[in-house]
């Protein structure tokens, strides 16, 4: 199976734009969603190989890891990479959340590592 | 049915305990007093009735104790507990009154024991109930007194068996004394109780305020991380798009400018991280950090690789020497904060084409890490200040314009949080070495103080 379709969910248009450009450059097919609801709706027909999910949407006032759990519940076979600006373990402790995600990435994203990891998952 | 909160529940349990214990004492006290009085004073008291009353008191306490031990483990509902108390209080009330009545009534100071009963009642019931209790008690006392006075009911005399008139005269004085004592004591007790409760409430309010402040602080830190690191990440992404040639052909001059912009952005992200770390450590002085097993060589390697590009640009080589056996139980974040700050400092303030050394050794229960470099060094008079917040040496400011002056204070705090110690040795214009001592596990530190102790002066300045 070689599914190079990637779904990116992030509320920051600029992040979406840069991630789209950099990952398309690496040969992936990209779809974007600027909120979790739209993103989850897309999964069914788009059937992505990997979902990149930004957490902590400001309007939610929480870290928003529930979104990752929601996706995992409905689509357990789709790898979810959580991308967060939070770069410290202690910040996770602040919310005391057990996060169920396949991989974690910090912003700013190390694209070399991201591309390498995505390739591991989709091939 | 609403269950009772645990703190309130435990205080109620304490009051129940008092009730039961005091009743045992009362039971025994009455029993022995009756025997002693019967044999030595020859009062003409209705001993049979009194022993029966004492027996009822005994039985009451046996039943209440049994009930209590039976249901102790269970969290009784408020309603059940209230009934339990109501029954106790009413039974005690009637028994004490009857005992008083059969032993001379107003002649007998035993009636003053109602004060103790009021005290205990005040602990459980609201003030209104206490005043109701005292009011009804006074009405009953006066009714009995009047009934005795007019001969409606029999008086069981203690002393005044012969002269009935003298008892009647005394009744007024004694009755007034007893009633005022009951009223005043109930007033005082409820007053004291109110003040205690008020104070308790104030403490609770303060505690809640403190707790919510803590959450506000934590949420603020999270918000700052998200709101500032996010846009910076986007900025860096745009630079990378240009640098990778995604946006098309770019002149070498433009590339150079974008590279500069990218470096400044990276620097800014690091500064933001420093400030967030610092804010977190300040906000959470007593935080319990999660601990994991850390292979030190791996932590050092990971942190060194983070700065390999930065080192390469200055032609700096790393030399790390750490046995694979060395491991510690500590918080990963704190170890990373210490290593990354010291390594990036070492690179920043090194002369080009030098070596940054990292050595780690285990010395008994302590891991000794040395991060050293060859470069600008630190002036002896500045050594004492480098762990101060926002302090930056003159040379450091010349080398790097952007800097928070928080790097070393954060390292200091992180080392302290690990129950460790940090010292620095430097020779101006030559070299600097930071020595960190961290206990292999927090347990090792508690029973055996760390070499040099924790409270000693932090910086042992040493001019070589």
pLDDT tens digit sequence for B32-49: 988 888 888 767 778 888
Tell me, what's the pLDDT at B9? Answer: 62
Tell me, what's the pLDDT at B79? Answer: 76
Nearest CA in chain A to B292: A89
Average pLDDT, chain B: 83
Give me the phi and psi of B363, to 5 degrees please: -120, 100
Residue of A34, A82, A84, A107 to mutate, testing the B interface (most B Cβ within 10 Å of its Cβ):
A107
Q: Between residues A58 and B173, which one has the greater pLDDT?
A: B173
Tell me, what's the pLDDT at B448? Answer: 40
Instruction: State how far residue B409 is from chain A, nearest Cα, in angstroms.
Output: 18
Give me the phi and psi of B77, to 5 degrees please: -75, 160
Mean pLDDT in residue range B271-277: 82
Tell me, what's the pLDDT at B300? Answer: 94
Q: In what order do the strands lie in the sheet with B355-363?
A: B317-322, B355-363, B366-374, B431-439, B421-427
Tell me, what's the pLDDT at B338? Answer: 93
ipTM score over 0.85, yes or no? no
Mean pLDDT in residue range B371-377: 91
Confidence of residue B439 (pLDDT cuts 50, 70, 90): very high
Nearest 10 degrees: CA dihedral of A68, A74, A76, A80?
Answer: -30
SS3 state of residue B451: coil
Which chain B residues are closer than 8 Å to A21 by Cβ? 241, 246-247
Mean pLDDT in residue range A33-53: 89
Least-confidence region, from B17-26, B37-46, B310-319? B37-46
- Find the helix or strand (DSSP H, E) in which B61 lies: helix B47-71
Tell me, what's the pLDDT at A97? Answer: 57
Confidence of residue B184 (pLDDT cuts 50, 70, 90): very high
- Find the helix or strand (DSSP H, E) in which B112 lies: none
Share of chain B above pLDDT 70, in %: 88
Residue of B219, B234, B280, B418 to mutate, testing the A interface (most A Cβ within 10 Å of its Cβ):
B234
Nearest CA in chain A to B236: A108
Contact A18 B221 (CB under 8 A): no
Q: Out of B225, B237, B277, name the one closest to residue A22 (CB).
A: B237
Confidence of residue B69 (pLDDT cuts 50, 70, 90): confident
Least-confidence region, from B303-317, B388-402, B427-441? B388-402
pLDDT tens digit sequence for B109-164: 888 889 988 888 887 888 888 899 999 999 999 999 888 888 888 888 777 555 56
Q: Between residues A91 and B52, which one has the greater pLDDT?
A: B52
SS3 state of residue B272: helix
Cα B450 from Cα B111, distance rounded (Å)? 66
Contact A89 B333 (CB under 8 A): yes
- Find the helix or strand (DSSP H, E) in which B90 lies: helix B78-102
Least-confidence region, from A34-38, B65-69, B216-220? B216-220
Cα B183 from Cα B191, distance rounded (Å)? 12
SS3 state of residue B270: helix
Q: Out of B225, B247, B290, name the one closest to residue A85 (CB).
A: B225
Nearest CA in chain A to B241: A22
SS3 state of residue B189: helix
Tell me, what's the pLDDT at A99? Answer: 64
Least-confidence region, from A43-57, B308-322, B352-366? A43-57
Contact A14 B232 (CB under 8 A): no
């Amino acid at each position: 199976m070689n599914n190079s379709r990637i779904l990116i969910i992030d509320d920051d248009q600029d992040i979406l734009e840069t991630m789209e450009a950099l990952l398309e450059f690496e040969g992936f097919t990209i779809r974007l969603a600027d909120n979790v609801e739209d993103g989850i709706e897309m999964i069914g027909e788009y059937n992505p190989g990997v979902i990149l999910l930004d957490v902590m949407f400001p309007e939610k006032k929480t870290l928003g890891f529930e979104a990752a759990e929601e996706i995992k519940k409905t689509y357990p076979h789709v790898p979810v990479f959580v991308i967060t600006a939070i770069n410290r373990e202690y910040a996770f402790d602040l919310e005391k959340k057990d996060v169920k995600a396949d991989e974690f990435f910090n912003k700013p994203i190390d694209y070399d590592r991201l591309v390498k990891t995505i390739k591991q998952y989709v091939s | 049915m609403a269950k009772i909160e645990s703190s309130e529940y435990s205080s109620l349990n304490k009051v129940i305990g008092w009730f039961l214990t005091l009743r045992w004492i009362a039971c025994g006290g009455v029993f022995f007093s009756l025997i002693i009085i019967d044999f030595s004073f020859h009062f003409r008291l209705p001993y049979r009735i009194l022993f029966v009353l004492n027996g009822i008191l005994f039985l009451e306490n046996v039943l209440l104790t049994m009930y209590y031990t039976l249901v102790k483990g269970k969290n009784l509902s408020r309603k059940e507990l209230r009934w339990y108390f109501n029954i106790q209080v009413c039974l005690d009330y009637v028994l004490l009154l009857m005992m008083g009545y059969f032993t001379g009534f107003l002649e007998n100071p035993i009636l003053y024991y109602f004060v103790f009963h009021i005290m205990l009642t005040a602990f459980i019931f609201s003030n209104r109930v206490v005043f109701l209790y005292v009011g009804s008690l006074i009405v009953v006392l006066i009714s009995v007194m009047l009934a005795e006075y007019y001969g409606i009911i029999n008086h069981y005399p203690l002393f005044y068996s012969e002269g009935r008139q003298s008892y009647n005269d005394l009744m007024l004085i004694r009755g007034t004394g007893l009633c005022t004592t009951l009223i005043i004591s109930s007033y005082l007790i409820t007053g004291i109780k109110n003040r205690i409760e008020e104070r308790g409430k104030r403490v609770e309010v303060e505690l809640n305020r403190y707790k919510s402040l803590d959450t506000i602080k934590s949420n603020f830190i999270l918000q700052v991380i998200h709101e500032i690191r996010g846009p910076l990440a986007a900025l860096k992404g745009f630079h990378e798009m240009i640098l990778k040639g995604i946006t098309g052909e770019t002149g070498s001059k433009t590339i150079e400018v974008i590279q500069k912009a990218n470096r400044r952005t990276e620097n800014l992200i690091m500064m933001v991280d420093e400030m967030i770390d610092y804010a977190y450590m300040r906000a959470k002085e007593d935080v319990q950090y999660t601990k994991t097993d850390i292979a030190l060589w791996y932590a050092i390697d990971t942190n060194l690789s983070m700065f390999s590009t930065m080192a390469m640009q200055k032609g700096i080589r790393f030399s790390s020497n750490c046995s694979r056996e060395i491991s510690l139980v500590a918080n990963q974040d704190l170890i990373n904060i210490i290593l990354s700050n010291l390594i990036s400092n070492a690179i920043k303030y090194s002369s080009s084409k030098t070596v940054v050394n990292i050595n780690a050794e285990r010395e008994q229960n302590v891991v000794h890490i040395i991060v050293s470099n060859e470069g600008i060094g630190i002036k002896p008079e500045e050594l004492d200040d480098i762990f101060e917040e926002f302090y930056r040496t003159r040379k450091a400011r010349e080398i790097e314009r952007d800097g928070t002056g928080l790097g070393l204070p954060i390292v200091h705090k992180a080392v302290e949080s690990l129950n460790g110690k940090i010292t620095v040795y430097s020779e101006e214009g030559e070299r600097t070495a930071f020595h960190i001592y961290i206990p292999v596990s927090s347990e090792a530190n508690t029973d055996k103080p760390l070499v040099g102790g924790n409270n000693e002066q932090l910086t042992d300045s040493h001019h070589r």
